[in-house]
Amino acid sequence: MSDFTLSRNSFGRLVLITNDGQQHEGVVAVRAFPIAAPDEGVSLVSTDGHELAWIARLSELPDNEQTLVQDELAQREFVPEVKQLVAVSAFATPSQWRVNTDRGATEFTLRGEEDIRRIGQGELLITDSHGMNYRIPDLFTLDAHSRRLLDRFL
Amino acid sequence: MNLRPALPSLSRFPESFPATWRDGLNTELAPDAVVVAWLEVDLDERLNFSRTCIVLCERELLARRADSAQWEHWPLHDELRLGHFDHAGIGTLELYDLQQRLARWRYTLEQNLAAQRLIKLFESQRLAIATGAPAPIDNNDVCPNCKAPLPPDEDECPICTRVEQTPPSTWTLLRLWRFAKPYQGQLLAGFLLMLGSTAATLVPPYLTIPLMDDILIPFHAGQHIDPAMVGLYLAGLFGAALLSWGLGWAKTYILALASERIAADLRTTTFEHLLQLSLEYFGGKRTGDLMARIGSETDRISVFLSLHLLDFATDVLMIGMTAVILFSINPSLALVTLLPLPLIAWLIHLVRDRLRTGFEKIDRVWGQVTNVLADTIPGIRVVKAFAQESREAKRFRDANQHNLEINDKLNRTWSLFTPTVSLLTEIGLLVVWGFGIWLVSKSQITVGVLTAFLAYIGRFYARLDSMSRIVSVTQKAAAGAKRIFDILDHVSTVPEPTRPIHLENVTGAVELREVGFRYGSRSVIRDLSLQIRPGEMIGLVGHSGSGKSTLVNLICRFYDVTDGSIRIDGVDLRSIPVAEYRRHIGLVLQEPFLFFGSVAENIAYGKPEATREEIVAAARAAHAHEFILRLPQGYDSLVGERGQGLSGGERQRVSIARALLIDPRLLILDEATSAVDTETEKEIQRALDNLVAGRTTIAIAHRLSTLRKADRLVVMDRGLIVEVGGHDDLMAREGHYYRLYQAQQRHAEELLLEGGAL
Ligand SMILES: Nc1ncnc2c1ncn2[C@@H]1O[C@H](COP(=O)(O)OP(=O)(O)O)[C@@H](O)[C@H]1O
Ligand SMILES: [Mg+2]
């Protein structure tokens, strides 16, 4: 059994009640290794930044709480997956990219080639000029056009 | 027929309000309602890219998603609140009342400023409804360019500056004219010389016509050779060669001089401009990048101007003149000769283009290789301490391997290039030969004319290769020029006053009035007011991250406040010339920075004209004199990078001496003693006591005991002042300060206990 219970209040905030009866409103869920091991190590943090609980694995939680945490994480995580590069404004940076992602079509500005980070075999993380991240899970599964465009920046 | 009702006055929408939302909204709004503010967020509830329009009127808030026809309405009332927060690049706007959350909108940070403005206007409308008084008129500045709201007190539009981040265009190079203008005389002279020398190089092929037709061919036909004629022609050839040599030399020299000067001016101007920019600019840039811009980019531009552009201009001139000459000799042969030219040029360009992307790739891979070096060498102590040499070696080997692979790939194309150009040239010559022989057989032209043609085109086919290079070098130079103009175009966010006020004698009274400050969109200091008397010592305490250093940065005017004002002797900092103001400030930081140079030069950094006696006196007062004397060359020992290593405490005392020497009215110590051990701290503390006497002092210290001399302690928490008072007073209050102090005492005791147990 876990030593806390989670619920959501009418303001949409996550409320955590520890076994000794302390109540924390507006709890935030944070992944410790968002890239390397997203499903291991989720921390529940209070609004003033102190850790309240550590979840070693999400699957350890009861189903309803697991959904709550998953929802909360989904609300905060925003790393669209690039499915296709439609066009780039220039091969020199800064360059405006038009892409299709799993969350719809969008545009962003790539400030420099160094903002494309290789994280694994064929996996890329692109940071745009506002600090937002886009992920390419596997470079080699992109279509030929996208790959040709991307190749100019690698 | 479509009978539209008379349009309600158009002015109910702000000018920039997108038309897509306008139509449906017209019928939705009360007839007299006017749009006060609006925001188009770009994400939906599930964080998919999809637009939603939020509209604020005097009496209600409306919203509609792009995929829905329905506008949602929320009438404004006293208990309605609009709040926002952001995390990891997405902002969230929440509408709620006392019972629950009513709506939530998400957006990427691009819209953050507009969102904040919406909240601000929402608040004033809500207050207006609650109190019955009319809402204050929104006087927030908007960017004259794109009509987006400007961040307070900044005249640079964040959106337009982003637009400025467009990829480099070749036209950027034209802006270099500003730097070329002082040298226009030289440039003109260079151009004329170029014209002359190019013309001179075109004489020899022309002389082959009479040499062939008047001398060699008649000789074959049995006539004898006239030595005088031959001598004349040979002299002509030699003269032309000599002339073109002389003119070419003068041209290259003059233009190289001019372009080198243009680049030097560019470099100095850029660096001088860079030094004027605020800390904010430096915070967002990497040192290596700025160094590369000022160093190698200007050099690249200089090479472009003096070499590539020059060559290209010469080539174009040559081709133009050759074409004229060829046409004047024989138009039909000229046409055949010049026809394959565009084709060859296009083919060369095609190959070049592939090569160029390859070379760019190599540039980047090369960057990776150097990055490994740049990481490892400064961190060599860590590498060795953790015995990770082999790992770093592997990293380097991998980067190198990658480099090798890319190079191998490129070399396949590259090795094809030169033979291909030769092949194309040969084919071009072949065409001319064939057509020429045919013309000769028809007696349309003489053998001399054909030889002259062959000589001419041999020359410029050879130049085609170098001409094709111009495209890529121009692009590179344009990119370089753009990166430099990026710096030059940047306006300091700490601007010089237009009507400066000069302070004669500064007493050192500092007043902070409702100061607020944000780093970008993040609010770090809020509504902070404080009055500091001349000569008073203020101790600034608080948890790490509570905004102490930020406050000090504001007082030094490294950044300008976002709200409120800071005054010294009653004068707003923003109306005092920056350099003049800083002369009155002595700053001692946690990490003292020493420039490369002697100890004496470092002490006199803020006052280069200081006498040796003054320097020694400052060093004495800073308790630095004795250790300096122990250095092998005393005050002349070199310090800074590569120089004599000084310990942290020693460096700190040198920097204190530096602050003492300028005799500032306002002294700022930001954790000046945090990085050193207790023994050294005592030493530094004694030095500081000398420094503090009789000056307005603001001291930040991690160890509260260091602040025992402070007249008042100011306790900060999350950007706010939470307590002000003397040590005893604050202890008696048992508030924030009390807790901080207790925590430190406990910590100190624990240390003692551990020490005793050992
Ligand atoms: N250049 C910066 N850009 C963005 N945020 C900053 C910058 N400098 C400091 N901050 C943030 O501002 C807050 C206050 O920082 P600071 O004034 O350095 O705190 P203190 O000196 O009290 O430890 C911190 O949360 C810090 O993360
Ligand atoms: Mg600090």
B401-421 pLDDT, tens digit each:
988 888 888 888 778 777 877
- For an interface test with A, the pick among B85, B163, B165 (most A C-beta atoms closer than 10 Å) comes out as B165
* 3-state helix, strand and coil shares in percent for chain B, rounded to the nearest 5: 60, 15, 25
- Single residue among A44, A76, A108 that ends a domain in this structure: A76
Determine, for residues B87 and A105 on separate chains, whether the beta-carbon distance falls below 8 Å: no
Q: Whose CA is nearest to atom 16 of ligand 1?
A: B547
Residues above pLDDT 70, as percent of chain B: 89
Top mean pLDDT of B1-5, B560-564, B733-737 is at: B733-737
| Nearest neighbour of B167 by CB, restricted to A10, A94, A152 | A94
Put simply, the chain A residues between 49 and 78 with a CB less than 8 A from any chain B CB are 74-78
CATH number of the domain encompassing residue B479: 1.20.1560.10
Residues B250 and B392 occupy one common structural domain: yes
- For an interface test with A, the pick among B159, B166, B475, B718 (most A C-beta atoms closer than 10 Å) comes out as B166
Q: Give the model's pLDDT for residue B291.
A: 75
Q: Whose CA is nearest to atom 8 of ligand 1?
A: B550
Q: Which residues does a 6 A CB cutoff place in the pocket of ligand 1?
A: B 283, 519, 522, 524, 542, 544-550
| pLDDT at residue B642 greater than cutoff 80 | no
Range of the domain at A11: 4-76
Which of B517, B550, B560, B562 for a ligand 1 pocket mutation test, highest count of atoms within 8 Å of Cβ?
A: B550
Beta carbons of B478 and B176 less than 8 angstroms apart: no
Nearest to B511 by CA among B588, B572, B559, B563: B572
| pLDDT at residue B242 greater than cutoff 90 | yes
- For an interface test with B, the pick among A9, A28, A70, A76 (most B C-beta atoms closer than 10 Å) comes out as A76
Distance in angstroms (rounded) separating the CA atoms of residues B600 and B628: 10
| pLDDT at residue B427 greater than cutoff 50 | yes
Beta carbons of A134 and B88 less than 8 angstroms apart: no
φ, ψ at B690 (rounded to 5°): -65, -40
Number of domains in chain A: 2
| pLDDT at residue A139 greater than cutoff 80 | yes
| Nearest neighbour of B162 by CB, restricted to A11, A80, A109 | A109
Ligand 1 centre to CA of B122 (Å) is 29
Range of the domain at B89: 1-162
Residues B268 and B332 occupy one common structural domain: yes
Residues of chain A found within 8 Å of residue B364, distances taken between Cβ atoms: 113, 154
Residues B129 and B217 occupy one common structural domain: no
Distance in angstroms (rounded) separating the CA atoms of residues B568 and B538: 15
| pLDDT at residue B613 greater than cutoff 50 | yes
Q: Which one is predicted more confidently, B375 or B224? A: B224
Mean pLDDT is lowest, of B72-86, B124-138, B220-234, for B124-138
Residues B147 and B176 occupy one common structural domain: no
Task: Return the amino acid letter for B447.
Answer: V
Q: Is residue B669 part of a domain?
A: no
pLDDT band, residue B540 (cuts 50/70/90): very high
Residues A22 and A61 occupy one common structural domain: yes
Size of interface A-B (CB pairs under 8 A): 72
Ligand 2 centre to CA of B740 (Å) is 16
Mean per-residue pLDDT, A44-51:
80
Ligand 2 centre to CA of A43 (Å) is 27
Distance in angstroms (rounded) separating the CA atoms of residues B560 and B277: 12
Ligand 1 centre to CA of B639 (Å) is 30
Residue A111: closest CA among chain B residues belongs to which residue?
B165
Mean pLDDT is lowest, of B54-58, B646-650, B731-735, for B646-650
CA distance A20 to chain B (A): 25
Question: Partners of A42 in the beta sheet?
Answer: A31, A55
- Among the bound ligands, the one closest to the CA of B719: 1
| pLDDT at residue B549 greater than cutoff 80 | yes
Determine, for residues A131 and B109 on separate chains, whether the beta-carbon distance falls below 8 Å: yes
| pLDDT at residue B675 greater than cutoff 70 | no
* Number of CB atoms found within 10 A of residue B480's CB: 25
Q: If you average pLDDT over every residue of chain B, what do you get?
A: 81
Q: Is the peptide bond before A94 cis (omega within 30 degrees of 0)?
A: yes
Mean pLDDT is lowest, of B39-53, B197-211, B260-274, B338-352, for B338-352
pLDDT band, residue B634 (cuts 50/70/90): confident
Mapped onto helix, strand or coil, the DSSP state of residue B592 is coil
Which residue is it, tokens 């840039």? B285
Mapped onto helix, strand or coil, the DSSP state of residue B103 is strand
CATH number of the domain encompassing residue B539: 3.40.50.300
Distance in angstroms (rounded) separating the CA atoms of residues B292 and B672: 33
CA distance B167 to chain A (A): 5
Pull the structure tokens for residue B500.
Answer: 């400066």
Mean per-residue pLDDT, B110-132:
83
pLDDT band, residue B136 (cuts 50/70/90): low
Mean per-residue pLDDT, B679-690:
76
Residues A104 and A66 occupy one common structural domain: no
Residues A70 and A97 occupy one common structural domain: no
Q: Give the model's pLDDT for residue B163.
A: 39
Q: Give the model's pLDDT for residue B3.
A: 41
Residues A24 and A47 occupy one common structural domain: yes
pLDDT band, residue B438 (cuts 50/70/90): very high
Q: Give the model's pLDDT for residue B423.
A: 82
CB contact, 8 Å: B722 with chain A? no
Residues B155 and B187 occupy one common structural domain: no
Q: Give the model's pLDDT for residue B673.
A: 75
Nearest to B279 by CA among B578, B604, B717, B648: B578
Ligand 2 centre to CA of B550 (Å) is 7
Put simply, the chain B residues between 468 and 487 with a CB less than 8 A from any chain A CB are 475, 479
Residues B505 and B475 occupy one common structural domain: no
Q: Which one is predicted more confidently, B680 or B197? A: B197
Determine, for residues B167 and A95 on separate chains, whether the beta-carbon distance falls below 8 Å: yes
Q: Is residue B493 part of a domain?
A: no
Q: Is residue B496 part of a domain?
A: no
The CA-atom distances, in angstroms, between B449 and each of A79, B229, B389, B594 are 70, 18, 71, 73
Q: Is residue B635 part of a domain?
A: yes
Task: Report residue B632 CA to chain centroid gap.
Answer: 41
Which of B524, B549, B562, B717 for a ligand 1 pocket mutation test, highest count of atoms within 8 Å of Cβ?
A: B524
Mean per-residue pLDDT, B479-500:
78
Q: Are strands A123-127 and A116-120 parallel, antiparallel or unpaired?
A: antiparallel
CA distance B361 to chain A (A): 7
Residues B580 and B602 occupy one common structural domain: no
Q: Which one is predicted more confidently, B397 or B422? A: B397
CB contact, 8 Å: A105 with chain B? yes
| pLDDT at residue B144 greater than cutoff 60 | no
- Single residue among A32, A55, A76 that ends a domain in this structure: A76
pLDDT band, residue B128 (cuts 50/70/90): confident
Mean per-residue pLDDT, B705-725:
88
pLDDT band, residue B147 (cuts 50/70/90): very low
Residues of chain A found within 8 Å of residue B165, distances taken between Cβ atoms: 94, 109, 111, 129
- For an interface test with B, the pick among A9, A30, A109 (most B C-beta atoms closer than 10 Å) comes out as A109
Residues B632 and B699 occupy one common structural domain: no
Distance in angstroms (rounded) separating the CA atoms of residues A126 and A121: 15
Residue A107: closest CA among chain B residues belongs to which residue?
B49
Mean per-residue pLDDT, A129-149:
86
| Nearest neighbour of B101 by CB, restricted to A10, A76, A114 | A10
Q: Spell B232-259 as b/e; 16+ CB within 10 A means b.
A: ebeebeeebeebbeebbebbbebbbebb
Distance in angstroms (rounded) separating the CA atoms of residues B708 and B229: 105
| pLDDT at residue A148 greater than cutoff 80 | yes
Residues B557 and B627 occupy one common structural domain: no
Determine, for residues A129 and B479 on separate chains, whether the beta-carbon distance falls below 8 Å: no
Q: Give the model's pLDDT for residue B165.
A: 45
Residues A71 and A133 occupy one common structural domain: no
Q: Give the model's pLDDT for residue B146.
A: 42
**Complex ipTM tops 0.85:** no
Nearest to B535 by CA among B715, B685, B709: B709
CA distance A64 to chain B (A): 19
Q: Give the model's pLDDT for residue B698.
A: 92
Determine, for residues B167 and A90 on separate chains, whether the beta-carbon distance falls below 8 Å: yes
Mapped onto helix, strand or coil, the DSSP state of residue B746 is helix
CA distance B287 to chain A (A): 15
| pLDDT at residue B339 greater than cutoff 50 | yes
Which ligand 1 atom sits closest to the C-alpha of B551?
Answer: 17
pLDDT band, residue A63 (cuts 50/70/90): confident
pLDDT band, residue B169 (cuts 50/70/90): low
**What is the tens place of the pLDDT at every residue in A90-112?**
777 678 899 999 988 888 888 77
Q: Give the model's pLDDT for residue B238.
A: 92
Q: Give the model's pLDDT for residue B531.
A: 92
Number of domains in chain B: 4
Determine, for residues B50 and A104 on separate chains, whether the beta-carbon distance falls below 8 Å: yes
Put simply, the chain B residues between 40 and 79 with a CB less than 8 A from any chain A CB are 42-43, 46-50
Q: Give the model's pLDDT for residue B5.
A: 45
Mean per-residue pLDDT, B46-62:
87
Q: Is residue B674 part of a domain?
A: no
Q: Give the model's pLDDT for residue A115.
A: 80
Mapped onto helix, strand or coil, the DSSP state of residue A138 is coil
CB contact, 8 Å: A111 with chain B? yes
Ligand 2 centre to CA of B548 (Å) is 6
The CA-atom distances, in angstroms, between B160 and each of B146, B156, B417, B561, B627 are 7, 8, 43, 22, 54
Q: If you average pLDDT over every residue of chain A, what do you get?
A: 84
Residues B513 and B632 occupy one common structural domain: no
Residues above pLDDT 90, as percent of chain A: 6
Residues A43 and A107 occupy one common structural domain: no
pLDDT band, residue B145 (cuts 50/70/90): very low
Mean pLDDT is lowest, of B1-5, B109-113, B424-428, for B1-5
Determine, for residues B87 and A76 on separate chains, whether the beta-carbon distance falls below 8 Å: yes
Residues B444 and B560 occupy one common structural domain: no
Q: Are strands B72-75 and B81-87 parallel, antiparallel or unpaired?
A: unpaired
pLDDT band, residue B235 (cuts 50/70/90): very high
| Nearest neighbour of A78 by CB, restricted to B90, B104, B110 | B90
Under DSSP, the state recorded for B321 is H
| H helix runs in B622-714, sequence order | 625-630, 648-661, 678-692
Edge-first strand listing for the sheet containing A23-25: A4-8, A14-18, A23-25
- Single residue among B435, B454, B488 that ends a domain in this structure: B488
Mean pLDDT is lowest, of B254-258, B323-327, B475-479, for B475-479
Residue B164: closest CA among chain A residues belongs to which residue?
A94
Q: Is residue B407 part of a domain?
A: yes
| pLDDT at residue B663 greater than cutoff 50 | yes
CB contact, 8 Å: B284 with chain A? no
pLDDT band, residue B714 (cuts 50/70/90): very high
CB contact, 8 Å: B644 with chain A? no
Residue A100: closest CA among chain B residues belongs to which residue?
B49
Residues A54 and A111 occupy one common structural domain: no
Residue A89: closest CA among chain B residues belongs to which residue?
B167
Distance in angstroms (rounded) separating the CA atoms of residues B482 and B485: 5
Beta carbons of B198 and B324 less than 8 angstroms apart: no
Task: Return the amino acid letter for B256.
Answer: A
| pLDDT at residue B155 greater than cutoff 80 | no
Mean per-residue pLDDT, B111-133:
83
- Single residue among A76, A104, A138 that ends a domain in this structure: A76
Ligand 2 centre to CA of B446 (Å) is 88
Task: Return the amino acid letter for B12.
Answer: R
Q: Give the model's pLDDT for residue B250.
A: 93
- Among the bound ligands, the one closest to the CA of B553: 1
CATH number of the domain encompassing residue B80: 2.30.29.30
Q: Whose CA is nearest to atom 27 of ligand 1?
A: B545
Residues A101 and A72 occupy one common structural domain: no
- Single residue among B444, B467, B488 that ends a domain in this structure: B488
